[in-house]
Structure 1
Amino acid sequence: MIITPCRLQGAYEITLLPNNDHRGHFTRIYDQQIFKDHGLDWDWVQENRSFSPKKGTLRGMHLQHGPYAETKLIRVCRGAIYDVFVDLRPGSPTYGHWDSILLTEENNKMIYIGKGFAHGFCTLEEDCEIIYKVDRPYAPQHEGGVIWNDESLRITWPILKPVISDKDSRLPTLEEFRRRQAQK
């Protein structure tokens, strides 16, 4: 397992190292000690599965606030996604900046995203399955996010007309999100 810091502090690319032989392969997905050795010591409380049958499905950009802010560990079991995360941590020098990673079932990569980042992804193939761990339980009263196509973010999504939920299409712009946070 190779853990590499991303451009935005608090996010890490994780490359898995499968052991291959004539039977197939074995891959360690998570190792508490390796994570601790890199300063990533979390108590995962939930594991979730997301399945999207259609290429071009976009989910995001989501986060949870306050005591329910989540750290996530995301990997693709089937298919390929363009995974994006936006820094929404108050006072962060990279507030409003985003980064991305291609996650596929073949490239053996995962992404670790710390608290305070909005997260989303776009499926690049049919029938994509994503598994992710979180360190806080889901709390709908603490959820939020920003709209996927906010012009100030300038995220370079690979799909211009995604399949998106009504709920995600009504998320606020970054500026609206910032104003709401300032009022709290």
Structure 2
Amino acid sequence: MTETTNIELNYFKTIGHGYQWFLLYEFVIGDKTLFDKSDIEILKEIISSRILNKSLYHNEMDGIELELKGLGETPGRPYEFDKIEMSDFQFINSKTDFKNWITKFRTEGWVDDQDDAKFLMDRAEKELWSRTDLKNGVWYLTKENFEEDSDKLIEIHWIYLHFKTFIEIDRKNETIRTFDFGYD
């Protein structure tokens, strides 16, 4: 499954505001048997694929105007995926629980840029709900769950104040959806 030929970036949306950004990707998988596996088995497979790697830029984006300028030059996700374990992922069960997470993220812990965070989250939430209902929940990794000196973070992880990567396994549409919130 991890071969590039079995993975197609079907949809993406980039939203940037100030120093914050949101990226949404939808991948169609050629190997339909992937969706017969458990969530944990699927996560183990996609963690070594181009779906969940350090890079946030995909060749399918070439020549397309992106709202988030310089995406190809960004350092990418701050995780050392070859060292990530399944216990590093957290699970949000429902759309309601995710909406509660968004409300908390939008309003708590912001010393600076809270207005920018609210603006970005409003736009990101609108885009996300236009694509999914998170019926099966969502898995996520957050930089904040690792110690500063963790070998599970890339060396330049410190450039991000926040970084969250979400993974939705959409069995109905046979799609893997990822979305990232970043703040640098």
TM-score using structure 2 length: 0.35
Larger Rg: 1
Higher helix share: 2
Higher strand share: 1
